[in-house]
Copies of this chain bind each other. A is one copy, B any other.
Amino acid sequence: MQACLLRSRNCIVGETEAGYQVTRGLLDEYTSLRILAVDCFISCESCPEAKGLAFEEIPIDILSGEQFKPGYAAVNAERVMPTLIHGGHSVFQSLAIIEYLDDIQPSPRLIPEDAKERAYARSLGLMTIADAHPLVTPRVRNHLAKMFGADAKAIEAWGKHWTTEGLATYERLLARRAPAPFALGTDPGLADICIAGQVVSAHFLKLELSAFPMVSRLADRCFEMPAFAISHPFEQPGFKTASAH
């Protein structure tokens, strides 16, 4: 069965749209988490069934408004990224995509099997998904500029504030239950993907991570793995192309 993941094209540098140069890289931070999940899903050698899922990535240029064209709006009524199309169905919202992948192919698991552990993994993941990340999306930055006249510096400060809040919360939680070596135990999963995503936001914003040693070590451990490393937005073709100009 053919699967497509529609994601935003990574474009980090843009001189023409004042106000967004600094934080524009965050556009793809969240999307990369999904790519990461899909990478985990389709690249695992121990899951032969998973290899039956052909996977095509389709970049959508959200800076030029491609998501508002009828072609994309037809598959995602919210006109946001990403969308996973599988078996003719659109799955939108990042966590729904990860949960769907775990539901149709439980191995390797991104969410553990035990109910309490599942709850902990989702609790950790949702701190990025439902608290920190929604506040730094392009549409929010655009609206801050429109409504409050926020300039690039103010938008950067806004992003730093919420990203730091997220990192601090994760640090407090990891101090209570230390990664061993990943957040839930021996294998990386949803929680690690989301914690690494917070660190990607910090990378974009050039935040100092020394106040968050446990978070930082966990992210380092993640990015040592190919599935995480190749999914870092800085490693995406769109980012490299933009950086070269």
Please state if B123 and A92 are interface contacts (CB–CB under 8 Å).
Answer: yes
Q: What CA separation (Å) do A161 and B143 show in the bound complex?
A: 9
Is A69 close to B, CB under 8 A?
A: no
With A100-B115, A103-B118 in contact, do A169 and B93 touch (Cβ < 8 Å)? no
Please state if B77 and A100 are interface contacts (CB–CB under 8 Å).
Answer: no
Interface-lining segment among A7-15, A146-154, A234-242:
A146-154
Q: Is the interface of A mostly helix, strand, loop or mixed?
A: helix
Q: What CA separation (Å) do A157 and B143 show in the bound complex?
A: 11
Q: What CA separation (Å) do A94 and B46 show in the bound complex?
A: 34
Q: How many copies does the complex hold?
A: 2
Residue numbers in B under 8 Å from A116 (CB-CB): 87, 89, 100
Please state if B129 and A130 are interface contacts (CB–CB under 8 Å).
Answer: yes
Is A91 close to B, CB under 8 A?
A: yes
Please state if B147 and A157 are interface contacts (CB–CB under 8 Å).
Answer: yes
CB distance from A42 to the nearest CB of B (A): 17
Interface range for A: 35 or more
Please state if B131 and A103 are interface contacts (CB–CB under 8 Å).
Answer: no
Mask of A81-109 contacts with B, CB within 8 angstroms, 1/0: 00000010101111111011001100000
Residue numbers in B under 8 Å from A122 (CB-CB): 93, 95-96, 99-100
Please state if A134 and B127 are interface contacts (CB–CB under 8 Å).
Answer: no
Q: Which residues of A contact B (CB under 8 A)?
A: 77-78, 80, 87, 89, 91-97, 99-100, 103-104, 115-116, 118-120, 122-123, 126-127, 129-131, 133-135, 140, 143-144, 147-148, 150, 154, 157-158, 161, 169, 172-173, 176
Q: Apart from A131-B134, A135-B135, list 6 A-B contacts with CB within 8 A.
A: A91-B119, A93-B123, A95-B95, A96-B122, A100-B122, A130-B133
